[in-house]
Amino acid sequence: MPIAHQSNKAVLTHPSGASAEVYLYGATLTSWKVANKERIFLSEKAILDGSKAIRGGIPLVFPVFGKGRAPHITAALPQHGFARISLWKLLNSSDDTHTVTAEFGLDHTLISEEYRKLWPFDFSLVYTVKLAAETIETQLRVHNIGDKSFDFNTLLHTYFLIPDASKVKVVGLSGVDYVDKVLQTSAHQQGDVVIRGEVDRVYANLKSTNFQVPYVAEQGGVQLQLKGLGDVVVWNPWTEKAAGMADFGNEEFHKMICVEAGQVAEFVALAAGDSWEGSQVLSLL
């Protein structure tokens, strides 16, 4: 069966053997396997009972990146917004000869009363996951179905499972300006991004739509192709930050890198009745 609906998640299985799992909590994709190999990092300490954002996978950041800043309306929302900590609905599932597709939805009627008060807009999010033999596409559509314009940030906050963080690089960001949230400076990327300590950077106004994370010391890696997404965040917490996170093992930073595509440097302003969409296709190198 291409899609198994379980009470808390949808499991997509492609005839090639590729598979993916998406929790309804946050519509968080927690697994993508190709050739029986997991490509997505999920912390051994991740909390999967819907009481906390899932540590790993692809949490969806919406409508604010990080903590919003007063006087912007998003300032009172939780870090990275409410989409990753709300219960989504499975809207549709289908399959054809090439792809297995599941569509998840969240709107203003499904979020908590508290978030609805803090962010009083009528919206609808549709998140589509399309699994093919060697690729997976994740697409977010944002619809303003109310009569007031609203601002949002969003990210497909992808945690990749990698052999060794100090032996990967992110290719495709050379020449892009970034804000370094660790050093609290702005800088210009020269060459590929490497991880030698804590990295938390927001690359804005990308020059390419195609990024690679090669494993360097061994064959393989992953590739991202973006559509409609103008910024990329690169994050690895390294030792100290890792030790401070209750839902992340102390040594797990070696096995993950977040390459998070979205719109975060500036808010997207969505007028009443308008829609926005952005997507990424992940494939193997």
Q: Is 39 among the annotated ligand-binding positions? A: no
Q: How far is the CB of 57 from ligand BG6 (least distance, A)?
A: 11
Q: How far is the CB of 245 from ligand BG6 (least distance, A)?
A: 7
Distance CA 64, CA 153 (A): 5
Radius of gyration of the chain (CA): 18
Q: Binders of ligand BG6 among 241-260, rule CB under 6 A?
A: 260
Active site residue 260: yes
Is there binding between residue 181 and ligand BG6 (CB under 6 A)?
A: yes
Q: Binders of ligand BG6 among 146-175, rule CB under 6 A?
A: 157
> Tell me, what amino acid is at 179?
V
Q: Binders of ligand BG6 among 91-150, rule CB under 6 A?
A: none
Neighbours of 46 (CB within 10 A): 20
Please state whether beta strands 193-194 and 221-227 pair in parallel, antiparallel, or not at all (unpaired).
Answer: unpaired
Q: What is the Cα 170 distance to its own chain's centre?
A: 16
Q: Catalytic residue among 103, 137, 252, 260, which?
A: 260
Active site residue 103: no
Is there binding between residue 52 and ligand BG6 (CB under 6 A)?
A: no
Q: How many residues are there in the chain?
A: 285
Distance CA 91, CA 102 (A): 8
Q: Who contacts 7 (Cβ-Cβ below 8 Å, separation ≥6)?
A: none
How many residues interact with ligand BG6 (rule CB under 6 A)? 10
Which residue, 102 or 257, is less far from ligand BG6 as judged by CB?
A: 257
Q: Is 189 among the annotated ligand-binding positions? A: no
Q: Which residues are annotated as part of the binding site? A: 55, 79, 84
- Residues marked active site are found at 157, 260
Q: Which residues are annotated as part of the binding site for substrate? A: 55, 79, 84
